Amino acid sequence: MAASSLLAAILALQLLLLLVAFTPAPAAAASPSKRPIHQPPSFPAGISTLRRRAASSSGRLATEAVKPFTAHYFPQELDHFTFTPNSSRVFSQKYLLNDTFWRKPTGPLFVYMGGEADIEWLATTTGFMFDIAPEFGALIVFIEHRFYGESKPFGNDSYKSVDMLGYLTSTQALADFAILITSLKQNMSIVDAPVVVFGGSYGGMLASWFRLKYPHVAIGALASSAPILHFDDITPWSSFHDTVSQDFKSESLNCFSVIKAVWDVLDNRGSNDTGLLELSKTFRACKTVQFIYPLSSWLQTAFIHTAMMDYPTPANFLMNLPAYPVKEMCKIIDSFPAGADVIDKAFAAASVYYNYTGDQKCFQVEGGDDPHGFKGWGWQACTEMVMPMTVSNESMFRPSSFSYEKMSENCLAGYGVRPRMHWITSEYGGHKIDKVLKRFGSNIIFSNGMRDPWSGGGVLKNISSSIIALVTEKGAHHLDLRSATKDDPDWVVEQRRQEVEIIHGWIDQYNKDTAQG
């Protein structure tokens, strides 16, 4: 199957966490390529305290020129679950430390579960942990996920074969975290210090699963925008694209209708070489595209990622974006005169995502680089992270279906392996999660914003008195983990205040239990 056909088949199913659609490379090379598809007071900080703290910063980390952490490397075993000759092979796992606010030896460890990206990028986009660390006297730790960033077990050859990629699993990653945290506490003589884990998106899934799998290591978890229910038939398969569509429709019905109409127009105009040449000029492509798919994918990525990053303040997460970027996109579309070309409207809106700063002379519509190191996600999506997705007729995107059989064939063609379709729910659960976790789980915050497309797979209702769902109507993708700013709306400030209060409760109870022996 041609690479473009494979990508087209997979994109509809696997617009996965953080974000980005990938396509498997041929099995011989197995090298997937990216497609642009966070003395202290003994009480929780109130809204006024968080406001003052935010007002003293620019909304980013205190300094961007000087990194607010030091990098370290831990000798990690390759395979935690077998005793084969290769299992004891050691690789260097990167982790970051910030002890600026640490009240040793009793201060807690705030540990971020690294997801599918370079850990330094994740650390510089997770200001919440830095914002609240002074209040807790916390040691901040960010741990990089195996096979991402600098934590590649086989160096630059880590993606070259299935034999190597086979060690890239969520269970291995969770075991890495457990061993590193335990060893760190022993080496620093703080074995009794409480650990709270944090994570957003896939990292949020890992944080919640870590609390369930390793309750002896972490006393609680903040899992932000963690779609742990986006598996099997637990959540509607169309929820992701339906939410994106609703985000745009809520701003402007005309905006929604323009985007919904653009796909057929693109297909018609891109049906021949002349049309592709003209479209390449319209889209200011750095080189003429040979197929219509890259243009459709380029537009779709802009709309989806903008919905995910629909933050109430300007941000530079995946791209530089203004506050409420969905609204800005729709303003542009609605400003065109009657009868204007639908493709011109869609391109102008997408430029908010790709060129808000106005410094792009042309756009890499095809290919492009991988600045945040998402490369391994294609493998994870084709092995255990099988999150079914469809596009309904009511969506503003092209309707599409999902087939386990077709996905299996595509992954076999791309990597030489078939997915374990239902492994995640077998390993971590998910079905009837309210009843199951109520019986044995505790100390997890599931936070979600309903403008985030991933919220459809999140835990949106309280499960027990200690497994709490914090839901904001206007929140976007793990907004709560970003740095506080002076312009944050009250509902964001209140969400973070509740999180701080809950974490205080976990730590206070742990300290009481420890004092009692």
Residues belonging to the active site = 201, 452, 477
Residue 464 and residue 124: Cα distance in Å, rounded? Answer: 33
The interaxial angle of helices 325-335 and 342-355, nearest 10 deg, is 150
Tokens of 96: 């970051």
Q: Which amino acid is at 227?
A: P
Instruction: Count the neighbouring beta carbons within 10 Å of the beta carbon of residue 9.
Output: 19
Report the alpha-carbon angle 325-326-328, nearest 5.
Answer: 60
Residue 182 and residue 91: Cα distance in Å, rounded? Answer: 17
Query: Phi-psi bin for 425: left (phi > 0), alpha (psi -120 to 50), beta?
Result: alpha
Q: Assess contact for 365 and 289: CB atoms under 8 A.
A: yes
Q: What is the radius of gyration, based on Cα positions, of the chain?
A: 23
Residue 93 and residue 180: Cα distance in Å, rounded? Answer: 9
Q: Which amino acid is at 440?
A: F
Residue 352 and residue 340: Cα distance in Å, rounded? Answer: 19
Residue 193 and residue 510: Cα distance in Å, rounded? Answer: 9
Q: What separation in angstroms does the CA of 146 have from each of 92, 118, 175, 373?
A: 9, 10, 11, 12
Residue 350 and residue 53: Cα distance in Å, rounded? Answer: 34
Q: Could you write out the DSSP letters of every residue in 329-366? A: HHHHHHHSPTT--HHHHHHHHHHHHHHTTS--SSB--S
Label residue 72 exposed, middle or buried (CB < 10 Å: 0-12, 13-18, 19+). middle
Helices and strands, counts by H and E, the chain: 18, 12
Residue 487 and residue 54: Cα distance in Å, rounded? Answer: 8
Residue 428 and residue 235: Cα distance in Å, rounded? Answer: 16
Q: Could you write out the DSSP letters of every residue in 397-426? A: S--B---HHHHHHHHHHHHS----TTHHHH
Closest by alpha carbon to 32, among 377, 413, 348, 356? 377
Q: What residues contact residue 78 under an 8 Å CB cut-off, 6+ apart? A: 86, 87, 88, 89, 90, 91, 153, 167
Four-point Cα dihedral 313, 315, 319, 323, nearest 10: 10
